[in-house]
Amino acid sequence: MKKQQLISKIFLILTGLAFLNIAVQAMIDPQSVMDFVDVELGNISARNSTRAYYGGVNLFFALFLFYGAFKMQKEALILAALYGGGFVVGRLYSIVIEGTPSSFIWTWLGIESVLTIVALTLLYFKGKQID
């Protein structure tokens, strides 16, 4: 196995585990996920939506990243880059129009930025390799 493939596999598995962690938390106790940003899920629809997005979507993204680590690395890296990049763009836009968020948000902005940069870097080098 080429070094780049191994690094991509490890990155995708670790990212998948992070997504899975969020998914499990959101499915079991959606309020626990929203407590980090002081949002009260005061009704069934709010808990349902949180389970769907943070739980269900992250669960399926995690499963795809696990699969992609072994069978579709390029596609899984694209998904990771789009996921992280979407959060980065949304957070930066919010900072520009609303101001400084909590340290929790800054931490996640850093994590999501690194996720995006690493995924894009691995994609770049994947494009450079000769099969």
User: What's the start-to-end Cα distance of the chain, in Å?
Assistant: 11
Rg of the chain over Cα atoms, rounded to whole angstroms, equals: 16
pLDDT at residue 131 tops 60: no
User: How many alpha carbons lie under 13 Å from residue 17 in its C-beta half-sphere?
Assistant: 5
Using left for φ > 0, alpha for ψ between -120 and 50, and beta otherwise, residue 46 falls in: alpha
Range of the domain at 28: 3-128
- Residue 59's pLDDT band, with cuts at 50, 70 and 90, is very high
The number of domains in the chain is: 1
**CA geometry: angle 21, 43, 58, nearest 5 deg:** 20
Could you read off the pLDDT of 77-123 as tens digits, one per residue? 999 999 999 999 999 999 999 999 999 999 999 999 999 999 999 99
pLDDT at residue 52 tops 90: yes
CA distance 122 to 125: 5
CA distance 121 to 80: 12
Could you read off the pLDDT of 23-38 as tens digits, one per residue? 999 999 999 999 999 9
Tell me the pTM. Answer: 0.89
